[in-house]
Amino acid sequence: MQFSSKHTAPFTASRPLVLVVDDNEDNLLLISLAVEQLFNCSSIAAANGETAIILAELYQPDLILLDIVLPDLDGVEAISRLKQHSQTKTIPIVAVTALAKEEDCDRIMAAGCNGYISKPYMLEDLETVIYRHLRIPSLV
């Protein structure tokens, strides 16, 4: 099991913590940098579903941005497990995925996701979702 808890911004009460989950290293880096540099949040990162669950339980992030197509445990199963665990069931989860068909979106939302962004996405879409789920006003 590979743990990845890369983060560059310090954890502080004034900076919400976002768990970013994606098996593509470039996507993971891009979202993490956007979360930290553009949206003034701290971030931790996971490259697979099992690690995401462990980090969510350990760090109790304010938001999870989750890819659905993951190598070990798909995002739908990860959502299901997170929503069943008392420590993580109230954490908002937003799918950030290339699965763009209506039936995919319906399946993901039915699993317990709180939002959905289809790849490729605009940074404005990511900003809207982050600020909505963290309940903080947009800086733009």
Look up the CATH number of the domain holding residue 104: 3.40.50.2300
Residue 6: inside a domain: no
pLDDT tens digit sequence for 6-51: 444 445 557 899 999 999 999 999 999 999 998 989 999 999 999 9
CA–CA gap between residue 91 and residue 62 (Å, rounded)? 6
Residue 75 structural domain:
17-133
The pLDDT value recorded for residue 13 is 57
Residue 128: inside a domain: yes
